Structure 1
Amino acid sequence: MPDLLGGKLKLRHLVLVTAIADHGSVLRAAEHLRLAQPAATRALRELEDLLGVDLFTRGPRGMRLTVFGEAFLEHARAVLTELRRAGERIVGLADTEVGTVTIGTLLAGSNVLLPRAIASLKRDRPGVTVVVRESTFDTLVPALLAGEVDLIVGRLNPVHTRPELRQVTLYSEPVRLVVRAGHPAVGRPDLTLADLMDYPWILPLTQTALRQELEQVLARHGLELPADRVECTSILTMRALLVETDMIAALPGLVVSTDERLVALPVELESVRRAVGVTLLSERLLTPSAGLMLEHLRGRAEELRGALETVGH
């Protein structure tokens, strides 16, 4: 077994492997790191000799990770991430006015809660940089584990089988069927879910919890998924489609309550309600900036609870 703690493994080895994996060749990695190519090649050879395995294969399309390389890269990224976080934590402890927090966000929470929390944080700490990455939960969790995001804000997906994750519930939000003001379905008497199947729909992506819940609601009413549909999680794209067309979408209640161009239809989605909160790593301490972000999320969520009581009725 290679002795990686004996002093032969250098930080530059970890940086080089990640750069080669990201850029696809020693030459491009060396250019990115501002190294001479012979020095980069020599460092890679040193590392492979130390480990006793090849980390890359060389082909016509560049260098590809071997199974050993993939395993080593995962740990190299984790080490570099923790070193970056250590630096940020030291800077944050030395100067609470600066720092960076990276937030992964889902649709629920991204339209009202998160902007308000960011605005509140920036008023208190204008020197803190906030980075927002929007994606689905299953994409953001690996980024959280890798240290690429500090916390995930949005709907709380089940994590009872993931002891490495913990969650902070902020509020519960109803999901409403939303259309544009002036939509043909607005004002129709005795409107039912079946009446809406003739309109085009915007549905969440298949891997999302909301999509699964909507499918279950439709099945309980003996209905199939609308044949005319778009699948999307981008709130900007969804809003534009809703405002410009006769499409229907299932959206968090706060979206419609804060947008005068959208209307919630009087068709209840029984059992579809979103617990919104923050997903964190169980064993990782938050950086000072991430801790401040969590505090502001809690504060703005408390303010939203009153509005949500009205939205749910």
Structure 2
Amino acid sequence: LYSEPVLFVVRAGHPLLDPGQDVFARLDEFPMLMPTRESVIRPFVDRLFITNGMTAPATEIETVSDSFGRAFLRQSNAVWIISAGVVANELGSGAFVALPVNTEETKGPVGLTMRTDTAPSPAFSILLQTIREAARQSG
């Protein structure tokens, strides 16, 4: 449907938001919420660490729970590595801020996953077409 980057997100007021810092040099000072090893975006994140001279974070918490990620980030100095769309509302409100990290190489597809062993019903086909049109209109 579209592509979006993975972002390094923190709560507003986080110490890594102070100007002039090398974010990758300081990441190990903070817990990191990471996508699970089985997730689609994890290989992108691992490559980004390697590109920036890092191995695995010192304190790594693997999660796919967006509700846990939101709650934990609000109450801590954690860094959450997450797809931009998941935290779009919080970024828009200013509650969360994306760290100044170039994540262009993490841009990945967002799409639909469907069973291949059954044909979609007419109602499902209409839903799919509506989703595709909405994604095209939103850019």
SS of structure 1 residue aligned to 2:15: coil
Distance 1:279 1:255, change over 3 A: closer
SS of structure 1 residue aligned to 2:111: strand
Contact 2:5–2:104 (Cα < 8 Å) also in 1: no
Note if 1:233 corresponds to 2:64: yes
* Correspondence for 1:189: 20
Indicate which of 119, 122, 127 corresponds to 1:285. Answer: 119
Residues 225-267 of structure 1, C-alpha deviations (whole Å, 9 max, x = no match): 1121211001111111111111111122233432121111111
1:302 positional shift? 2.1
Indicate which of 125, 136, 139 corresponds to 1:302. Answer: 136
Contact 2:35–2:82 (Cα < 8 Å) also in 1: no
SS of structure 2 residue aligned to 1:301: helix
1:212 positional shift? 2.1
Note if 1:274 corresponds to 2:73: no
Residues 186-226 of structure 1, C-alpha deviations (whole Å, 9 max, x = no match): 13314332222211100111112322221222122221111
SS of structure 2 residue aligned to 1:246: coil
* Correspondence for 1:265: 99
Matches for 1:78-117 after TM superposition, within 5 Å:
none
SS of structure 2 residue aligned to 1:280: coil
**Counterpart residue identity of residue 288, structure 1:** P
Contact 1:181–1:263 (Cα < 8 Å) also in 2: yes
**Counterpart residue identity of residue 137, structure 2:** E
1:270 positional shift? 4.1
Note if 1:172 corresponds to 2:3: yes
Query: Where does the alignment leave 5 or more consecutive residues of structure 1 unmatched?
Result: 1-169, 306-313
**Counterpart residue identity of residue 298, structure 1:** R
Indicate which of 35, 56, 68 corresponds to 1:204. Answer: 35
Q: Give the alignment's Cα RMSD to 1 decimal.
A: 1.8
Sequence identity (%)? 30
Distance 1:209 1:283, change over 3 A: closer
TM-score of the superposition, structure 2-length normalised?
0.85
Contact 1:201–1:248 (Cα < 8 Å) also in 2: yes
Distance 1:265 1:274 in 2: 19
Larger Rg: 1
Higher helix share: 1
**Counterpart residue identity of residue 265, structure 1:** L
Distance 1:273 1:188 in 2: 25
Distance 1:208 1:190, change over 3 A: same
* Correspondence for 1:216: 47
Q: For CA contacts below 8 A with separation 6 or more, give which structure has more relative contact order.
A: 2
SS of structure 1 residue aligned to 2:136: helix
Contact 2:33–2:63 (Cα < 8 Å) also in 1: yes
TM-score of the superposition, structure 1-length normalised?
0.41
SS of structure 2 residue aligned to 1:275: strand
Contact 1:205–1:233 (Cα < 8 Å) also in 2: yes
Equivalences, count: 136
Query: Where does the alignment leave 5 or more consecutive residues of structure 2 unmatched?
Result: none
